[in-house]
Amino acid sequence: MKSIDKAVELSAPTTRNVFKRNLTRFAAVLLAALAGLVAVPSAALAAPHQHHDQVPGFYRLKVGDLEVTALYDGTGVFDAHWLNGTKATMDGVVKALQEDPHMLDVVDSGFLVNTGKQLILVDAGAGTWWGGAALGRLVGSLRSAGYTPEEVDIVLVTHLHSDHVGGLTTHDGNRVFPNAEVYVAKAESDFWLSPEIAANAPKDAQPFFQSAQAIAAPYIKAGKWHTFSGSEPIVDGMQLVPLPGHTPGHTGYELSSRGQKILFWGDTIHAQRVQFPHPEVTVVFDIDPAAAAATRNQLLPKLAGGGVLIASPHSSVFPPLGRLRKEGSRYSWVPVVFTDRWDEK
Ligand SMILES: [Zn+2]
């Protein structure tokens, strides 16, 4: 060992000097830096400012050649009293809520599809017609995603509840999407826009009719309100999927591209943590609860495990996109997970 140390000592004086010089330089830099810190303590040691803004409210992914952007409109909490199920199921919900008070948290959202030829909006959020300050962010989300309301060519409406169409029209009656042609099922339009049905509806339901009529009015006046009653083609590669029950003309829109599919299913589900395990549970907003449950019973088995991407406006998470998995007699939601590699989904 001694001889090796000696050898190192003899052969390495130059290296050692370089190291020493570097060390001195490093110490000088460090001292200068510390001196700087001491000189401006307020800048370096001040409490960090909190930022209360959030990431922009959109999430983009690709379905074949389609660019699909989920647009955040807001968040809310679905009231447990709005759910109808068996006593045993509802007792279970009440108990689960005590352990997990956030299990009925929901988002409201719409979706923008850029086909490469057209810009299609599926549902428009609440605007100022529902949910007060908690909702109505959709246009801001759309702008954050790089688009303007004027660019939207087509709006596909799942149903005429104001949390889905409120964003179409301002409270003073102006069209938010001035160049868009709006499409809605005839059964839906006929129901909500009928003065006779509205006049005979229960008092609690009156605001739904009033808002639907006020929101539709400027598009009807401009000749931009269109109804469909069958399977007429509106957009290439799109299929209409009637999903009656929640409302008379409640409609899903399935778009396909290069073998990939996405279904915009509107209010097929409101409280996914309850209705996926219990598809028979209905909501007080269902015009025909039995039909709404029957629609779920037909649709969910077809979608489970099938790879169809589902756009669910009232998902309990954002982005409100996911797939359905079957677990015994129940279903569960497999959410799309955030990634910035949007073209590799
Ligand atoms: Zn809704």
Q: What is the DSSP-derived secondary structure letter of residue 344? A: G
Which residues have a Cβ under 8 Å from the Cβ of 273 and sit 6 or more positions away? 96, 103, 104, 316
Q: What is the rounded (10 degree) CA torsion for 148, 154, 157, 163?
A: 10
The reported pLDDT for the residue numbered 28 is 52
- Angle, alpha carbons 79-82-86 (nearest 5°): 120
Q: In the prediction, which pLDDT does 41 show?
A: 52
Give distance in angstroms: CA of 162 to centre of ligand 1. 8
Predicted TM-score (pTM) of the model is 0.86
54 to 58, 72, 133, 142, 340: CA distances (angstroms): 11, 12, 16, 15, 16
What is the C-alpha to C-alpha distance for residues 127 and 52, in angstroms, rounded to an integer? 23
Q: How far is the CA of 260 from the centre of ligand 1 (A)?
A: 26
Taking the centre of ligand 1 as the mean of its atom positions, its distance from the CA of residue 196, in whole angstroms, is 24
Distance 163 CA to ligand 1 centre (A): 5
The DSSP symbol for 124 reads -
Spell out, as residue ranges, where the chain has pLDDT lower than 70: 1-44, 342-345
Residue 323: partners with Cβ closer than 8 Å, 6 or more residues away: 303, 307, 308, 309, 310, 333, 334
pLDDT at 16: 47
Query: How is residue 327 annotated by DSSP?
Result: E
Residues with CB under 5 A from ligand 1 (ion): 163, 267
User: How open is the CA angle 300-306-309, to the nearest 5 degrees?
Assistant: 80
pLDDT of residue 344: 55
DSSP 241-287: EE-TTSSTT-EEEEEEETTEEEEE-GGG-S-HHHHTT-TT-EETT-S
d(CA 144, ligand 1 centre) in Å:
23
CA of 300 to the centre of ligand 1 (A): 18
Per-residue model confidence (pLDDT) at position 154: 98
Which SS3 state, helix, strand or coil, does residue 108 take? strand
> Which sign does the torsion angle of CA 15, 21, 23, 26 carry?
negative
